[in-house]
Amino acid sequence: MDYKYLNNMLSEMDKDLSSKGMSRRDAMKLAGISGAGLFMGATDVSAMEKDQLPLKKSGVDAKIVIVGGGLAGMSTAARLTLNLKNPNITVIEPEKLSVSYQPGQTLVAAGIWDIDDIKYDRDDFVPTGTKVIEDRVIDFDPTNNQVTTAKGQVIDYDYLIVATGLQLDFERLEGLEEAGRAFSAGDNSRLHKAIGDDGICSIYTAEGAEKTWEQMQKYIEKAKNAKDGKKVQFLFTHPSTPIKCGGAPKKIMYLANARLKEAGARDNAELTFYPNGGAMFGVPEYHDAIHGQFKREGFKWHYRHNLVGVDKARKVAIFDAKWQEKGPFDPIMKDFEVISKHERKEVPYDFLHITPAAVAPREVGESDIGSAKGWVPVNKETLQHVKFNNVFSLGDIAQVPMGKTGGSIRKQYKVLVDNLIAQMEGKKLPSKYAGYTVCPLITDIGTVMLAEFDWTVKPTPSFPLDPTVERWIFWLMKVYALKPMTMYGMLAGKA
């Protein structure tokens, strides 16, 4: 663990706290935290490492292959290394920057962090003894316990962990077909040639986040100089598929709003949210809180609008708008029928933030380990494949409800390691993932609503505070604590 980095982060947080006349201990009390922890209470960051040391290691031997070396894959490799006496682990991952800190892309897009603040080299986080194959798997053969890479290497395994992540499907949008599909990390030059200029942007890659900040500044300046009462149009979309962090499309909207206010240009801008669904958030309590925030900030929104195209020449976003109408009376059901309707709707924009549809990589979705929906079908609690007992999956690619966040992975990878080792030992799988998800919803520069929930679809707060209230204390956690916990806690297999 990089203690120097962690202590520097804590030092920076202490400066921020001091500017508010508060010590870290005071902040810990405010948050209601008892006991030591990296967030506010730890005076020695090594305490976290000591608390997480495994009690014993399993002596079972097996060849484990992990496809995907991002946060999910590499954290799992690290934890397996801690819990096996003789780990035999191979990670297949083509991208050098696969472990870069994706949650920070929103902060880069608002000019709070620089892109270098989120870029991390994969090889700096490879657990001791773990082998890395710098290649991409293009074929899965679970019947014969083999995978094949793009370079033609056939790799055998006893146990397989699928942690490939998902792809960003820009090519399904009319007018952006040339953008293709992209991963969050890697060569996305094709995507950024198609978007990132003239007001179109997306925070879903690191370079895209950097370009978003460039475009945001350009259109804030336009709003600042707007005359004759004409408002600059800022549009934000949310697609019809599951996505990484369901709150991210709103975070960038809140941050654009903050920057507009900071520039004295808010009155000359109109911010509108276009979600495919019929609510702001799947948890009613958080929906109500966000709805109130939107009204307070003067945002506009239109439910059931799915972005299907972009006319770059005319600067028009094209939506499939859906609604329901009352139909004829059904004498048998003794009620009126409900008729679903939709229409193609064009909306002019100046600044357009696209949250792309998310899909499984074709080599996963179309393989024997995939499913009709593309994701890897696993038991949502044990994370074991529904058909192949020696295959497990976690992270964005796993077909579990509400599980596509780093906070979800933090719970999942521990469950998976416990269950994989039990499977290797011929024992009953002991651990269950309960669907925990967390979304630090940035509502302004300086405030965050910490939305925590699970499959109960109810708030499950970790702190004795109203989780629907925006707080500066959670902003500090987002900006200062979550990255080191991820990079030097999770990726060490300990947080």
Write out the catalytic residue numbers.
Answer: 245, 439
What's the per-residue H, E or C state across the chain? CCHHHHHHHHHHHHHHHHHCCCCHHHHHHHHCCCCCCCCCCCCCCHHHHHHCCCCCCECCCCEEEEECCCHHHHHHHHHHHHHECCCEEEEECCCCCCCCCHHHHHHHHCCCCCHHHCCCCHHHHCCCCCEEECCCEEEEECCCCEEEECCCCEEECCEEEECCCCEEECCCCECCHHHCEECCCCCCHHHHHHCCCCCEECCCCHHHHHHHHHHHHHHHHHHHCCCCCCCEEEEEEECCCCCCCCCHHHHHHHHHHHHHHHCCCHHHEEEEEEECCCCCCCCHHHHHHHHHHHHHHCCEECCCEEEEEEECCCCEEEEEEEEEEEEEEECCCCEEEEEEEEEEEEEECCEEECCCEEECCHHHHCCCCCCCCCCECECCCCCEECCCCCEEECHHHECCCCCCCHHHHHHHHHHHHHHHHHHHCCCCCCCCCCCCEEEEEEEECCEEEEEEECCCCCECCCCCCCCCCCEHHHHHHHHHHHHHHHHHCHHHCCC
**C-alpha span between 113 and 483 (Å, rounded):** 12
Q: Residue 480 — left, alpha, or beta (φ > 0 → left; ψ -120 to 50 → alpha)?
A: alpha
User: What gap in Å lies between CA 244 and CA 233, rounded to an integer?
Assistant: 25
Distance (Å, rounded) from C-alpha 466 to C-alpha 478? 17
